[in-house]
Amino acid sequence: MNKECKFLIFVVEYYRNKKDLSGEEVIDLFDKYHVWDLARKSYFLWHIESPDNFVREIDSFISDAQYFNNHQTPIHT
C-alpha cells in the first residue's frame, strides 16, 4: 500500500472520530460529495498540516456542495 492510500485511511479514521461517525458513514459521505478527489489533490498539503485543518476543509467542501445541490436553478432553453 502506498503512502497516499495510507493517508486516505488516516483521513477517514480521523474524520470519523472527530464527527462521531461510523467508517461506513464517512465513506458514504465522501462518495456522495466526492471528497476522495479533494483528499487526493490535497495530499501534499494535508499530510504536513494539523489534521483539524483538513476536517475544517472537508466540512466546508461538503457544505458548499450541499448548498449548490439545493440551490440549482434549472436551465431553460
CB-CB neighbours of 46 under 10 Å: 20
For the record, the C-alpha cell of 60 comes out as 466546508
Cα 23 to Cα 21: distance, rounded to the nearest angstrom: 7
pLDDT at 47: 84
Tens-binned pLDDT, residue by residue, of the chain (77 aa): 888 899 999 999 999 999 999 999 999 999 999 999 999 999 999 889 999 999 999 999 999 988 877 766 555 55
User: Which pTM does this prediction carry?
Assistant: 0.84
pLDDT at 76: 54
pLDDT at 19: 97
Cα 32 to Cα 77: distance, rounded to the nearest angstrom: 29
